[in-house]
């Protein structure tokens, strides 16, 4: 939610190993995990393994959440003083690479996990602009529906009533009603200088082509 670059988990071990290092002298330390696969989960004692490694399973599960949201994760030893400084000085650790960019993760979150609070209807020109990656400006909005505030997820409907995009509203329903059909330069005059000039910013929006989402 805070769009962090990295999550650091401090543990009593200095990362993920191919097997329990205390039991297997041939256990290999993994300096980097590009993707959390069933094999990686098995090393941690997850669902793919009959072994149990306690806290490492939980850490790998946290890694799936973090990397799936575009955040890197590091597992490092935290039992000595100044563990973060030790990391910057090259202490052994395991880095879990983010599975996607934060922008991609944000759009997936918008598309798949939030309920719609309302909708804005746009003209043909605005519809074409949205599908080329542009932000939605007030001049292209013909009307709004629903009760939404800034930050709520809303749908964008083309002149035929088809949903072509959805995203986080930069303006609330009442504000959209005031500025719809007007040029962006009129927004600050009508709503004040602290108001965004677009209804939906392209960074907070997912465009649709049929049933498929494009980012």
156-214 pLDDT, tens digit each: 999 999 999 999 999 999 999 999 998 877 777 777 665 667 899 998 898 885 433 44
**Distance, CA of 63 to CA of 72 (rounded, Å):** 8
Q: Which of 129, 139, 206, 201 is nearest to 170 (CA)?
A: 201
Choosing from 100, 121, 153, the residue where a domain stops is 100
- Which residues neighbour 65 within 8 Å (Cβ) at sequence distance 6 or greater? none
Residue 202 burial class via C-beta count within 10 angstroms: exposed 0-12, middle 13-18, buried 19 and up: middle
- Supply the CATH number for residue 177's domain: 2.30.130.10
Tokens 């990391």 belong to 87
pLDDT of 38 reads 86
Do the domain assignments include residue 1?
A: no
Domains identified in the chain, total number: 2
Do the domain assignments include residue 180?
A: yes
Domain range enclosing 33: 6-100
pTM of the model: 0.54
- pLDDT band at residue 6 using 50, 70 and 90 as cut-offs: very high
- Supply the CATH number for residue 38's domain: 3.40.1160.10
Q: Which residue has the higher pLDDT, 97 or 20?
A: 97
Contact 169, 148 (CB under 8 A): yes
- pLDDT band at residue 1 using 50, 70 and 90 as cut-offs: low
Same domain, 114 and 202: yes
**Distance, CA of 185 to CA of 195 (rounded, Å):** 11
pLDDT of 112 reads 66
pLDDT digits (tens, 9 = 90+) for 50-62: 344 447 888 998 8
- pLDDT band at residue 29 using 50, 70 and 90 as cut-offs: very high
Choosing from 82, 100, 118, the residue where a domain stops is 100
């Amino acid at each position: 939610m805070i769009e962090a670059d990295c999550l650091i988990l401090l543990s009593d071990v200095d990362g993920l190993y191919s097997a329990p290092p205390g039991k297997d002298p041939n256990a290999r330390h993994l300096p980097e995990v590009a993707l959390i696969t069933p094999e990686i989960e098995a090393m941690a004692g997850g669902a793919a393994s009959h072994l149990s490694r306690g806290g490492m399973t939980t850490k790998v599960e946290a890694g799936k959440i973090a990397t799936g949201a575009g955040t890197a994760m590091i597992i490092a030893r935290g039992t000595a003083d100044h563990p973060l400084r030790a990391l910057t000085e090259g202490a052994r650790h395991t880095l879990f690479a983010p599975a996607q960019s934060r922008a991609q993760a944000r759009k997936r979150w918008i598309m798949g996990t939030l309920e719609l609070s309302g909708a804005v209807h746009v003209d043909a020109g605005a519809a074409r602009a949205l599908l080329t990656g542009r932000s939605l400006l007030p001049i292209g909005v013909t009307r709004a529906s629903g009760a939404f505030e800034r930050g709520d997820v809303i749908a964008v409907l083309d002149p035929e009533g088809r949903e072509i995009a959805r995203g986080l509203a930069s303006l609330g329903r009442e504000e959209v009603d005031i500025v719809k059909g007007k040029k962006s330069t009129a927004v600050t005059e009508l709503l004040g200088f602290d108001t965004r000039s677009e209804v939906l910013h392209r960074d907070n929006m997912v465009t649709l082509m049929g049933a498929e989402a494009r980012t």
